[in-house]
Amino acid sequence: MISRILISASAAIILFFGSMHLAYTFFTDQLTPVDGQLETAMKHVAAHISSETTMWKTGVGFNVSHSMGLILFGLIYGYLTLCRWDVLQKSIFLAGLGLVVLVSYVVLARVFWFSDPLIGASVATLLYVAGFVCAFARP
């Protein structure tokens, strides 16, 4: 039972961060540049890949898709832990995939982001690992 609590807590942390990130993207100025002129420029400058969008729109799209990925991870692993524990516990692929995703978020947070996501991703990863250690330590 403790293993399920630990892994579902990990999933809940990631779900929380994804939901907050989505809310910050649409409802706050937390993810906008401090320099208003930069924001204005981003809203008018196209990316090299296509003139059909602006740097601002791509940034918003990247933030939304990032949020969706976090939310999806949290929902899927939360569901598997709470409703389909037998599937998650027996699948080395799903267990390993979850670990790879979480470790990837830790690395991304360390290299590209800031302390809050690094702490959140690190705690979620530690809870996830502890959950599987508990799950596999029992006969």
Domain boundaries, the chain: 2-137
Which residues touch 103 (CB under 8 Å, ≥6 apart)?
125
Please name the residue ranges forming H helices in the chain. 2-27, 36-44, 55-83, 85-90, 92-112, 115-137
pLDDT tens by residue, 48-82: 888 899 999 999 999 999 999 999 999 999 999 99
d(CA 4, CA 100): 19
Residue 84: how many CB atoms within 10 A of its CB?
A: 13
pLDDT at 32 over 80: yes
d(CA 121, CA 101): 10
pLDDT tens by residue, 113-129: 999 999 999 999 999 99
Backbone angles phi, psi at 50, to 5 degrees: -165, 145
pLDDT at 138 over 70: no
d(CA 114, CA 51): 31
pLDDT of residue 137: 81
Q: Which of 18, 5, 1 is nearest to 101 (CA)?
A: 18
Is the pTM higher than 0.85? The answer reads yes
The SS3 call for residue 31 is coil
